[in-house]
């Protein structure tokens, strides 16, 4: 019997519920959230993109019931940018597969993960702040206003970077430990009962 679909649904539910809970619990820390990391992990883990995309969208939708909404155009931009890391799946998978064996493999995998996490953080910062500049009248609608918008957002960007790197490391690290433990368990020879060890 193929257990993969059941495992995927259990992981899906765990990521959605845990991600929504964490986002609400950490809402006092601006932009320090697990959503982009969940999208990155979902893209890597799930076989179907629809399931992977569903994780960040549901996490945002459920947690926004508590955190609260804002301008729909900016919300749509935020949701889109937090879903984008799902599409780094091929890059992550190829990085992990092409890495050499041993410690070299671990370093290549870590570099690939950090690179994807940083890229998603930077793209989120650039695109969402451009949307804020476009759709709100907080800033002048010229290049000076746009620059001011980005400058004002830099303190929040630190939290975005920290959250994305922290949660990506936790998710992929936990997954690597689970896979390693599973492989060790399946390759450990069984000792017959009563045998001298």
pLDDT level of residue 161 (50, 70, 90 thresholds): very high
User: CA-CA distance, 91 to 59, in Å (whole number)?
Assistant: 24
- If you search the block for the tokens 């749509």, which residue do you land on? 76
Looking at residue 67, which CATH number applies to its domain?
A: 1.10.1760
Label each residue of 49-95 as H, E or C: HHHHHHHHHHHHHHHHHHHCCCCHHHHHHHHHHHHHHHHHHHHHHHH
Residue 189 lies in a domain: no
Per-residue pLDDT, 185: 58
Residue 190 lies in a domain: no
Residues 20 and 58: beta-carbon distance below 8 Å:
yes
Please state, rounded to an integer, the average pLDDT across all residues of the chain: 88
Number of domains in the chain: 1
Residue 175 lies in a domain: yes
pLDDT level of residue 110 (50, 70, 90 thresholds): confident
Q: Which residue has the higher pLDDT, 123 or 91?
A: 123
Question: pLDDT tens for residues 33-65?
Answer: 999 999 999 999 999 999 999 999 999 999 999
User: CA-CA distance, 79 to 62, in Å (whole number)?
Assistant: 12
User: CA-CA distance, 105 to 99, in Å (whole number)?
Assistant: 5
* Residue 126, domain extent: 4-180
What single DSSP character describes residue 137? S
pTM, 2 dp: 0.86
Q: Which residue has the higher pLDDT, 195 or 77?
A: 77
pLDDT level of residue 104 (50, 70, 90 thresholds): low
Residue 191 lies in a domain: no
Query: Comparing 39-53, 89-103, 118-132, which segment has the lowest mean pLDDT?
Result: 89-103
Residue 74 lies in a domain: yes
């Amino acid at each position: 019997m193929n257990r993969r679909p059941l495992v995927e649904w259990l992981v899906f539910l765990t990521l959605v519920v845990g991600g929504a809970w964490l986002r609400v619990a950490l809402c006092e820390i601006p932009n320090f959230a697990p959503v982009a990391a969940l999208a990155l992990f979902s893209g890597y883990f799930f076989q179907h993109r629809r399931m992977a995309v569903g994780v960040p969208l549901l996490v945002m939708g459920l947690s926004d019931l508590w955190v609260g909404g804002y301008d729909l155009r900016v919300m749509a931009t935020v949701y889109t940018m937090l879903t984008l890391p799902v599409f780094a799946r091929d890059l992550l998978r190829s990085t992990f597969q092409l890495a050499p064996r041993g410690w070299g493999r671990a370093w290549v995998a870590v570099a690939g993960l950090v690179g994807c996490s940083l890229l998603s953080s930077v793209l989120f910062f650039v695109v969402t702040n451009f949307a804020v500049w476009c759709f709100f009248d907080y800033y002048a609608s010229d290049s000076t206003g746009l620059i001011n918008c980005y400058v004002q957002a830099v303190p929040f960007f630190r939290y975005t970077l920290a959250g994305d790197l922290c949660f990506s490391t936790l998710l992929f690290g936990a997954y690597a430990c689970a896979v390693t433990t599973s492989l060790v368990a399946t390759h450990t020879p069984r000792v017959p009962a009563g045998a001298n060890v």
